[in-house]
Amino acid sequence: MINQTSPMPLHSQLRNLLEKEIMKGSFEKKIPSERDLMERYQLSRTTIREAISSLVHDGLLEKVHGKGTFIKKNPPVHEWMNTLNSFTKTIENTGLEPGSKLIAHGYTNSPKNYFDLLQCPDGYFIERLRYASHYPIAMERHYYSTEIGKKLASYDLNSIVIYDVLEQDFGLQLWETYETISCRGANKKEAELLNVQEKTSLLEMERILYDQTGQSIECLKSVYRPDMFAFKIKRLRNGGSV
Query: pLDDT tens digit string along 80-110?
Result: 777 888 999 988 887 778 999 999 999 999 9
217 and 157 both lie in a single domain:
yes
159 and 111 both lie in a single domain:
yes
97 and 62 both lie in a single domain:
no
| Listed range (22-26, 48-52, 128-132, 136-140) with the worst mean pLDDT | 22-26
Specify whether the CB–CB gap between 46 and 198 falls below 8 A: no
pLDDT, averaged across the chain: 90
Q: Give residue-wise pLDDT tens across range 210-230.
A: 999 999 999 999 999 988 888
Give the residue from 22, 232, 222 showing the smallest Cα distance to 136: 222
What is d(CA 183, CA 26) in angstroms, rounded to the nearest whole number?
A: 35
Among 71, 86, 113, where does a domain finish?
A: 71
The answer to whether residue 1 sits within a structural domain is no
Instruction: Tally the domains of the chain.
Output: 2
126 and 196 both lie in a single domain:
yes
Q: Give residue-wise pLDDT tens across range 129-165.
A: 999 888 899 999 999 999 999 999 999 999 999 999 9
Indicate the burial class of 132 (C-beta count within 10 angstroms; 0-12, 13-18, 19 or more).
buried
Confidence tier at 196 by pLDDT (50, 70, 90): confident
What DSSP letter does each residue of 139-153 carry, written as one string?
Answer: EEEEEEEHHHHHHHT
Expressed as residue numbers, the domain containing 141 is 77-232
87 and 202 both lie in a single domain:
yes
The answer to whether residue 171 sits within a structural domain is yes
78 pLDDT more than 80? no
Among 30, 52, 71, where does a domain finish?
A: 71
74 pLDDT more than 70? no
Residue type, 172: L
The answer to whether residue 241 sits within a structural domain is no
Kindly report the CA angle at 175 between 169 and 179, in degrees rounded to 5? 115
Angle between helices 34-41 and 45-57 (to 10 degrees): 120
21 and 95 both lie in a single domain:
no
Q: CA torsion, points 99, 73, 55, 23, in degrees to nearest 10?
A: -50
48 and 84 both lie in a single domain:
no
What is d(CA 137, CA 227) in angstroms, rounded to the nearest whole number?
A: 9
131 and 81 both lie in a single domain:
yes
For the beta carbon of residue 231, count every other beta carbon within 10 angstroms: 15
